[in-house]
Amino acid sequence: MKNYFLIFLFFITLNEIHGSSFSLDKYEIDIESNFLGEEIVIFGEKSPEHNLIIILEGGGKTVRLNEKIKKKILWINKSTKYESIPNFFAIFSLPKKSLNELFLITKIKKNHYLISDSSQKLFKLRKALEQKSLYFEKPLIETDENLFFSRFKIPDNINSGLINIYFYKILDNKVISLTKKTLRIKKRGFIQKIELLLYNNSIFYVLILVLFAILFSLISNYTLRKR
Amino acid sequence: MNIYLPIAEISINIYLLLTLGLSIGFLSGLFGIGGGFIASPLLILAGVPATIAVGTTTIQVFASSSTGAINHLQKKNVDFQMVGFLILGGFAGTVIGVYSLKAINATGLIENYLYIFYATILSLTALFILYEAAKENVKKRKGKFKLHAHSWIHGLPLKIKFRKSKLYISIFAPVIIGFFIGLLTGFTGIGGGFILVPCMIYILGMTTVSVIGTSLFNITVVSLISVILQVLVNKNLDFVLAIILIVSSSLGAALASRLIEKIKIDTLKEAFGFLILIISSLLIYELLRTPIYLQTIDIL
């Protein structure tokens, strides 16, 4: 039933997607006070002779990789900073491809640093991102008439910003076409105002909290406490 | 039901936070403590990032101590001379504490430091409470005990008269104590009342009713300084988490004030000691157990 819904969804958005052969059910995610992550459906059409690889890559950020090492009886962190590491990374493929298979496709290796080699450093970064649900590999599910889809979740710990979506058509381990789209993640409403207040008007941020703390404590003290 | 914390950038179960706030408020109402030394490690154990837990606990400490401070101000139970020197040292300590938090956070070792620190301080506090509870009966039977011994702190220069507290001691004594309490507040979010009050009684030799009022006034001002610095320097105070903690802990404290007469405090003191011991054991366990994930990542 869900598949039929997706196919229907695909056809009604076919006009929008024109030359490219994939789409998302939404291209904008709003982070608001009830944000618990967001499920997204990726779907499209596939020609029988090609393999597909779709990569979602978030903006490059400075990250700190903490490795737990045992010193005598305590587990402590050994931290290393890395620049320009994507804050979100997802790989979809049809048929399912392992990372080792992706390493054989030069253009993909070149375009995406996080999966450019099988080094320990990148392995650890992928594992650490995976632990926060910010990295995953999933197969695309093929339905009738060369259509495909997959569902995935943008986790609640995602940073706001752009996620680039790369749609690769592969033939004999070579990229024969690449289509790019973007998914925008934005803080909105109260959440956005709070963040802006903290960073742009810190003193006012403190003042509101301090006044609230004093007033609420006094009110609860005078109204609820036993005299 | 989960709620999104905008600065921590995570969603967390609201009932867990409310229960935590109510419990902290309840304990602070029963024992006259700020509750920061329980709130901060429990928030970290609940999954709140360590620096956010420290920053946000500070405003909860401010909220819980400010009401008490206002009450004692109205009753004129504050030694302003003493509190002035405590705050002087407290200001310097807070500045160093807040910047130390920033520096250690940058190394990625903040959780290790805080776990070790909280585990040590909670274990010592628990043992102290249990020891005091056991000693109470002996003291009562003997009738009198020496309030404080003269130590090196009484040999410090620049002695002045503290009229309200009826003391003639060096100004450096409250400045040094204030400094360490400020350091504690800035670095860990703890108000430090459970250390400050014994220091004022056993080290400074304060005997008057102004001990609690002076301590609460100092904690209120130092935690306010810390709140401002945490926001300006570390940006680690989560608005939503702060509101939840302030509301729930105030309600918990109010509830405790209604139940306090029905509860045997002596028995509760022992239970409280054991509770703190359990929390510190959990922190020690976190340091000793093999981690589930050998790699974690912080997006800066």
Residue A162 to residues A16, A165, B266: CA-CA distances in angstroms?
20, 10, 58
Cβ pairs bridging A and B (under 8 Å): 173
pLDDT at B217: 92
pLDDT in tens, A113-160: 999 988 999 999 999 999 999 999 999 998 877 889 999 999 998 989
CA distances to A192, B11, B43, B59 from A199, in Å: 11, 21, 23, 18
Alpha helices in chain A (DSSP H): 2-12, 14-17, 99-102, 106-111, 120-131, 189-200, 202-224
B262 contacts chain A (CB < 8 A): no
Contact B185, B94 (CB under 8 A): yes
Cβ pair A202:B232 closer than 8 A = yes
Whether B147 has a pLDDT exceeding 70, the answer reads no
**B1 interfaces chain A, CB cutoff of 8 Å:** no
Of B16 and B153, more confident: B16
Interstrand relation of A28-31 and A174-187 (parallel, antiparallel or unpaired): parallel
Quote the pLDDT of residue B265.
Answer: 65
Please check whether residue A159 touches B, CB under 8 A. Answer: yes
Q: Where residue B254 falls among pLDDT bands split at 50, 70, 90?
A: confident
Residue A82 in this model has a pLDDT that exceeds 80? yes
The arithmetic mean of pLDDT across residues B226-252, rounded, is 94
As for the ipTM of the complex, it is 0.86
Q: Which residue has the higher pLDDT, B106 or A114?
A: A114
Question: Taking 90 as the threshold, does the pLDDT of residue A57 lie above it?
Answer: yes
Residue B88 touches chain A, beta carbons under 8 Å:
no
Is residue A2 over pLDDT 70?
no
Average pLDDT, chain A: 87
- How many Å apart are CA B16 and CA B97, to the nearest integer? 29
- Distance in Å, alpha carbon of A100 to nearest chain B alpha carbon: 21
In this predicted structure, the answer to whether residue A16 has a pLDDT above a threshold of 50 is no
Contact A212 B232 (CB under 8 A): no
Euclidean distance between CA atoms A70 and A26, whole angstroms = 44
Q: Which helix (H) or strand (E) holds B182?
A: helix B172-188
Using the beta-carbon criterion (under 8 Å), do B297 and A132 form an inter-chain contact?
Answer: yes
What is the pTM assigned to this prediction? 0.83
- Rounded (5°) CA angle B214-B191-B120: 125
CB atoms under 10 Å from CB of A167, counted, come to: 20
Helix (H) / strand (E) containing A55: strand A51-58
Between CA A37 and CA A1 the distance in angstroms is 24
| Strand partners for A187 | A31
Arithmetic mean of pLDDT, B3-15: 90
Indicate whether A1 pLDDT > 60: no
Q: How many CB atoms lie within 10 A of CB B103?
A: 10
Buried b (16+ CB within 10 A) or exposed e, B194-215: bbbbebbeebbbbeeebbbbbb
Distances (CA, A) of B294 to A79, A82, A90, A120, A127: 12, 17, 21, 13, 9
Mean pLDDT across B2-19: 91
At B199 the pLDDT is: 84
User: In this structure, what is the dihedral angle of CA atoms A100, A106, A110, A111, given to the nearest 10 degrees?
Assistant: -80
Residue ranges of domains in chain A: 2-59+87-187, 193-224
Contacts of residue B112 in chain A, CB cutoff 8 Å?
Answer: 74, 76-77
Would the pLDDT of A26 be above 70?
yes
* A-proximal residues of B, 52-71, CB under 8 Å: 59, 62-64, 66-67, 70-71
Report the percent of chain B where pLDDT is more than 90. Answer: 35
Identify whether the C-beta of residue B39 lies closer than 8 Å to the C-beta of residue B65.
no
Q: Which residue has the higher pLDDT, B278 or B264?
A: B278
Q: Which of A12-26, A103-117, B215-229 has the lowest mean pLDDT?
A: A12-26
- What pLDDT was estimated at residue B252? 87
Exposed / middle / buried, residue B116 (Cβ in 10 Å: 0-12, 13-18, 19+): middle
Least trusted range by pLDDT, from A13-22, A97-106, B256-265? A13-22
In this complex, the residue of A65, A74, A194 whose CB is nearest that of residue B287 is A74
**Partners of residue B73 in chain A, C-beta under 8 Å:** none
Q: Sort out which chain B residues have CB atoms less than 8 A from A72's CB and list them.
A: none
Q: How far is CA B93 from CA B57, B106, B191, in A?
A: 17, 20, 12
One-letter amino acid for residue A123 of the chain: F
Residue B202 has pLDDT above 90, yes or no: no
- Does A87 sit within 8 Å of B299, measured CB to CB? yes
Instruction: With CA atoms as reference, report the closest residue to A163 among A179, A188, A135, A184.
Output: A184
pLDDT tens digits, one per residue of B47-79 = 899 999 999 999 999 998 888 888 888 888 889
3-state secondary structure of B181: helix
Residue A96 CA to residue A102 CA, distance in Å, equals 10
First to last CA, chain A: 64
- The stretch A195-205 carries a mean pLDDT of 94
**What span, in angstroms and rounded, lies between the C-alpha atoms of A213 and A219?**
10
Q: Is the pLDDT of residue A20 over 50?
A: no
Angle at which helix B265-288 crosses helix B36-45, to 10 degrees, equals: 40
Query: Comparing A13-22, A129-138, B36-45, which segment has the lowest mean pLDDT?
Result: A13-22
Domain residue spans in chain B? 2-288
Examine residue A95 and say whether the peptide bond preceding it is cis (omega within 30 degrees of 0). Answer: yes
Q: Which residue has the higher pLDDT, B163 or A88?
A: A88
Residue B95: pLDDT above 80? yes
DSSP letter, residue B202: I
- Residue with the two structure tokens 């009562």: B140
The CATH architecture that domain A2-59+87-187 belongs to is Sandwich (2.60)
